[in-house]
């Protein structure tokens, strides 16, 4: 019987860390090769991780909500395959550290990056752990994996664990450290009750309750309102303290972190120019209704965004130089002979921009199917990193929120982004008379290094011309 470890894999998209969203297994569960054991959130996508061997779950090394670096062990499994890896001498808590001590025996197997069902395993260099501040820290990393910590003396680094000096860093798992930080508790002041002197979540909560309790002592001396509060259950005192806070701090991670980095990078790298145009889209709205009634398009999602996307593709064909990117290292402008059309999508995890590959080559029906699939996948949080790479131009539909227009920021690496405002019935001069018409405003932001004012204006004007007279979808194609 051996202990095998599964590390946070690199899914092949430059992943450096991921947050564990959900565990699908618990210690003691039997797992099989290819079974999904957890769901993690990478930069902008939720990914299910299958385990590449059979066995019984020995320990989960991190709790849900923890951000883990690529290459760190996240789960250990007992297997009966004695030849697969060097056996771990103990089932004790520091499984990851014991495996690290056995690493020389594993080197021949891990010389090449091995497939782990989701991307590839981490290269040898990336599996090195950060240096620890104290010799006792490895035990803190995996303190709750199993209760048999005293059985580890076979590993050379662990004899110092029992003799932890009082001045050293308190032993606690990363989630417990985060909890203590959020509650304003100094771990050094917490009395540990876990095995081997490890501080547990319960210890931190107890310390927080003790810190609040003295503040409640003067309550009996306060008039009637305070006496009524004193009669409430003691357990309700802690939430009362939390709700009185004037600020709430939310960790920046996952989609929000990546979006922030991308927007700052784009705003301060590409010189943005934004132009606006207000137009009558009554004919386009009529065409949308006619297409909905067309039996040849039955079952397809037909909406204004579909025709707007088609108008953008027609305008790109008429102004191909807008479809480009800036290569800073080579000091070159890269003209793209394909269009990967990005669609900004609001999801429960934040804003993402997947793109339709080779949108320029799709028929109206194919474009409709791609849009529907893209949006549904994004809302389910299943968009893959590959679906968000190599975009060329993006559309963001702020009109669905009732907004007239905006000044969108470029998706990094792209040349332009079109914001579509709300379509509203407004008075409009049509054929010499003021009539109610369907009107909207478009805003085009573009990279002024790639697109000068004339080209950007022509591109936006062509989009508007197609939407004002949708027959140009045919005559200009």
Transcribe 78-117 into DSSP letters. EES-TTTSPPPS--SS-HHHHHHHTHHHHTTTTSSPPB-S
Rounded to 10 degrees, the C-alpha dihedral 160/165/167/168 comes to: 20
Q: Which residue has the tokens 């860093």?
A: 169
448 is a catalytic site residue: yes
CA distance 402 to 390: 30
Burial class (CB in 10 A: 0-12, 13-18, 19+), 123: middle
Rounded to 10 degrees, the C-alpha dihedral 270/275/280/285 comes to: 10
Tokens of residue 179, six digits: 């909890």
Question: What backbone phi and psi angles, to 5 degrees, belong to 342?
Answer: -80, 145
CA 84, distance to chain mean position in Å, is 34
Q: Which of 272, 337, 430, 448 is catalytic?
A: 448
DSSP state of 340: -
Burial 392-406 (b: 16+ CB within 10 A, else e): bbbbbbbbeeeebbb
Q: Which residues are catalytic?
A: 448
């Amino acid at each position: 019987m051996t202990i095998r470890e599964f590390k946070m894999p690199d899914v092949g998209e430059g992943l450096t860390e991921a947050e564990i969203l959900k565990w699908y297994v618990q210690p003691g569960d039997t797992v099989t090769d290819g079974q999904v054991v957890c769901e993690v959130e990478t930069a902008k996508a939720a990914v299910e991780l299958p385990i590449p061997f059979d066995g019984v779950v020995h320990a989960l090394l991190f709790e849900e909500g923890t951000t883990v670096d690529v290459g760190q062990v996240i789960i250990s499994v007992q297997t009966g395959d004695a030849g697969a890896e060097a056996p771990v001498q103990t089932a004790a808590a520091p499984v990851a550290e014991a495996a690290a001590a056995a690493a020389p025996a594993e080197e021949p197997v891990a010389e090449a990056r091995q497939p782990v069902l989701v991307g590839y395993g981490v290269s040898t260099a990336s599996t090195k752990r950060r240096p620890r501040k104290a010799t006792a820290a490895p035990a803190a990393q995996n303190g709750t994996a199993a209760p048999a910590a005293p059985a580890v003396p076979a590993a050379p680094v662990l004899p110092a664990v029992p003799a932890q000096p009082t001045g050293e860093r308190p032993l606690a798992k990363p989630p417990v450290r985060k909890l203590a930080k959020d509650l304003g508790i100094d771990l050094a002041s917490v009395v540990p009750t876990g095995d081997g002197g490890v501080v547990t979540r319960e210890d931190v909560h107890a310390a927080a309750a003790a810190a609040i309790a003295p503040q409640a002592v003067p309550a009996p001396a306060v008039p009637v309102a305070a006496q009524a509060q004193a009669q409430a259950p003691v357990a309700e005192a802690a939430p009362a303290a939390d709700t009185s806070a004037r600020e709430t701090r939310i960790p920046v991670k996952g989609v929000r972190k990546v979006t922030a980095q991308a927007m700052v990078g784009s705003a301060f790298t590409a010189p943005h120019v934004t132009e606006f145009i207000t137009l009558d889209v009554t004919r386009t709205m009529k065409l949308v209704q006619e297409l909905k009634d067309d039996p040849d398009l039955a079952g397809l999602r037909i909406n204004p965004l579909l025709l707007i996307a088609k108008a953008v593709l027609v305008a790109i064909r008429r102004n191909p130089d807008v479809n480009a990117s800036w290569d800073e290292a080579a000091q070159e402008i890269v003209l793209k002979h394909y269009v990967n059309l990005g669609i900004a999508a609001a999801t429960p995890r934040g804003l993402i921009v997947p793109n339709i590959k080779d949108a320029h080559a799709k028929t109206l029906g194919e474009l409709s199917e791609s849009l529907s699939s893209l949006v549904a996948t994004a809302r389910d949080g299943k968009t893959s990193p590959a679906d968000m790479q190599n975009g060329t131009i993006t559309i963001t539909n702020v009109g669905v929120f009732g907004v007239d227009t905006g000044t969108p920021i470029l998706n990094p690496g792209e040349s332009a982004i079109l914001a579509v405002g709300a379509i509203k019935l407004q008075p409009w001069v049509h054929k010499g008379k003021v009539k109610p018409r369907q009107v909207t405003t478009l805003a085009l932001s573009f990279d002024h290094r790639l697109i000068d004012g004339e080209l950007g204006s022509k591109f936006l004007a062509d989009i508007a011309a197609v939407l004002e007279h949708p027959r140009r979808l045919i005559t200009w194609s």
